[in-house]
Structure 1
Amino acid sequence: MQNLKRRFLNLPEYLLIAAVIFYWVSTAVVINPVAIGLLVVLILQLFFKNRIIGIVIPGILIMASFYMLLAMMSELNEFPVFNADARKLLLVGLSFFLSTILVSGVMIYKYASPKPV
């Protein structure tokens, strides 16, 4: 049981790296400084496991995800009718940003716990 909990708590960094790679690919820009910076910081976090960085990174990602959820809702309001494109925007946007918020919350729990996990 302890091994399963340890594996679950190590998963957020890998999932956030996958989310950053998805973001980088979806922007279709070869040199994206935001994605490169996030990727470098997350990979360094995997090796060094700094508590402060482990709380700051997901905090920033949660705030950015909430901002993007609001931007997505604003974009959704621009559709005159709720068609297939609007449904696709809603499905992909909600799944991506809500999963990022969830994984970031797990990462905050991991690094904010009083004893190292």
Structure 2
Amino acid sequence: MKKYLLILPEFILIGLSAYWLLDIFIGNDYFNPIAFCVFLMLLLQVFIQNKYVGFSLASLISLFSLYMVLAVFSEFNDFHTLSFEAFQFLVFGLLLCFLGFCSAIAMFYKFLPKVF
């Protein structure tokens, strides 16, 4: 059971990256190679468990999640009226950012003792 809990952050991040990839592909009919590379790197990380790649991915994803919090607030400020859709956007965006950040921090702490 503990083994499955240790790889849970990777599965959460795989789900978020798959959502990112499919959202752009279905919504805009555009293939995003960066989202695909992130998805593949996280998928390979589940099977290979390289400590340096895991530590690097966790660092980059945590920084990206913090950046996305600022992007969510910026888009929220573009709403002219404070409607239900605006608050729904804010809650859903911050929830995704929080989920990604917490998963990256959990992955960061998992690989931290192995790297140093």
TM-score, normalised by the number of residues in structure 2: 0.88
Partner of 1:58: 58
Whether 1:15 and 2:7 are equivalent positions in the alignment is no
- Number of corresponding residues: 112
Bigger mean CA offset, 106-115 vs 61-70: 106-115
Deviation at 1:30, TM superposition (A): 4.6
Q: How does 1:101-116 map to 2 (within 5 A)?
A: 101-114=101-114
CA RMSD of aligned residues (A): 1.6
Deviations 1:34-86 (A, max 9, x none): 11101111111112111111111111111111111101101111222210111
**2: CA distance, partners of 1:93 / 1:46:** 26
Tell me: CA distance 1:76–1:36, structure 2 relative to 1, closer, same or farther (3 Å).
Answer: same
- Tell me the distance in 2 between the aligned counterparts of 1:78 and 1:44: 38
Trace 1:1-117 onto structure 2 (pairs within 5 A): 3=1, 5-27=2-24, 28=27, 29-114=29-114
Paired residue type of 2:109: Y
Unmatched tracts of structure 1, length 5 or more: none
TM-score by length of 1: 0.87
* Paired residue secondary structure (1:73): helix
| Unaligned segments of structure 2, at least 5 residues | none
Distance in 1 separating the partners of 2:56 and 2:102: 15
